[in-house]
Amino acid sequence: MLHVQKLSLYQAQQALIQNLSFQVAAGEVLSVMGASGVGKSTLLTWMIGALSSAFTATGQCFLNQRRVDELPTEQRQIGILFQDDLLFPHLTVGGNLAFALPAHIKGSARQQQIDTALEQAGLAGFAKRDPSSLSGGQRARVSVLRALLAEPQALLLDEPFSRLDTALRQQFRSFVFAQIAHLQIPAVLVTHDLADVPSDGRIIQL
């Protein structure tokens, strides 16, 4: 359960978001919509703990009853997906995934888990490939796998579908939603496009 309580975001004394509270249940995808510049992405950067110094915020964020908004990013256990896949270009596809995998998975189990994840994503045998040799859709799927292999307790999606063309978009969307449902973690999706919102998903309009 992800719980944002009484969040207000200011940019140079001007309120972007005022007194926003919401809860997201495990396995649910909450969509945040609104015109550009309204503070949708800023909301996500606050939740992940990377708010730029141009902004100030008041409010609290709880993840599974644990208060996280005062923790550094790396201790929040919240994953994020951006518009760009941001795969690390100096690592192979497998290297990117191994980077995300927790250290308690050791030895051959690491490679096995990476291979299984790739296989489920329809990318069997891609571990040794360089990210630059993949298509946009394939890269997007790897970036999802990377975020999820780190075993996050929640996932934030910052318009991750907007770069893909219509055909790929539909496919990728259902892939992401299926993963979230499977892992039973709360997710917050920021988007411009109503079509991105899962069927009977809740929407917050900013």
Partner 1 sequence: MRCLSLANTNSQSVDRGLSFIAWLGVLLILGLPLLGLIPIFMVGLQAKAWQLLWSDPQFLPALKLTLFSAGISTLWSLILACALVFLFYPSKTWQRLQQQLPIFLAIPHAAFAIGLVFLLAPSGWLVRLVSPLFAWTAPPTWLTTTQDPYALSLSLALTLKETWFLLWVMTGLISQEWLVKQSLIAKSLGYSAWQAGWQILFPQVLKSLAWPLLAVFAYGLSVVDMALILGPSTPPSLAVLAWQWFADPDPIQQLKAQVLALVLVGLLVLGAGGAYLAYKFLTALWSKPSGRRQRTSVIRFLSPWFSYLLTLPFWLSLGLLLLWSLADSWFFPQIVPSRLGFATWQQAELEPLLMTLWIATCSVLISLPLALLWLEWGKQRQAYLYLPLIIPALPFTAAQYQLALLLKLEGSLSAVIWSHLAWVLPYILLVLTGAYQRLDTRYLLTAKTLGYNTWQACLYIKWPLLLRPIMAAAAVGFAVSVAQYLPTAFIGGGRIETVTTEAVSLSSGGNRATLAVQAVLQALLPLFAFMTATSLSRWYARQHPGLN
The binding site for partner 1 (CB under 8 A) comprises 48-50, 52-53, 72-80, 82, 84, 86, 88-92, 95, 98-103, 105, 110, 146-147, 150, 152
Comparing CB distances to partner 1, the nearer of 80 and 185 is 80
- Entry field: residues in the chain: 206
Provide φ and ψ at 177, rounded to 5°.
-65, -35
Question: Which C-beta is closer to partner 1: that of 53 or that of 166?
Answer: 53
Please say which residue, 29 or 80, places its beta carbon nearer to partner 1: 80
Question: C-beta of 201: minimal distance to partner 1 in Å?
Answer: 23
Tokens 């109503």, located at residue:
194
Residue 162, H or E segment: none
Is the Cβ of residue 109 or residue 203 nearer to partner 1 in the bound state?
Answer: 109
Q: Which is nearer to partner 1, 40 or 76 (CB)?
A: 76
What is the sign, positive or negative, of the torsion defined by CA atoms of 50, 88, 83, 180? negative
Q: How far is the CB of 169 from partner 1 (least distance, A)?
A: 21
Q: Which of 107, 100, 99, 96 is nearest to 129 (CA)?
A: 96
3-state secondary structure 47-100: HHCCCCCCEEEEEEEEECCEECCCCCHHHCCEEEECCCCCCCCCCCHHHHHHHH
Residue with tokens 């760009």: 84
* Least distance (Å) between residue 199 CB and partner 1: 28
Please state the closest distance from residue 84 (CB atom) to partner 1, in A. Answer: 7
**At closest approach, how far in Å is the CB of 64 from partner 1?**
16
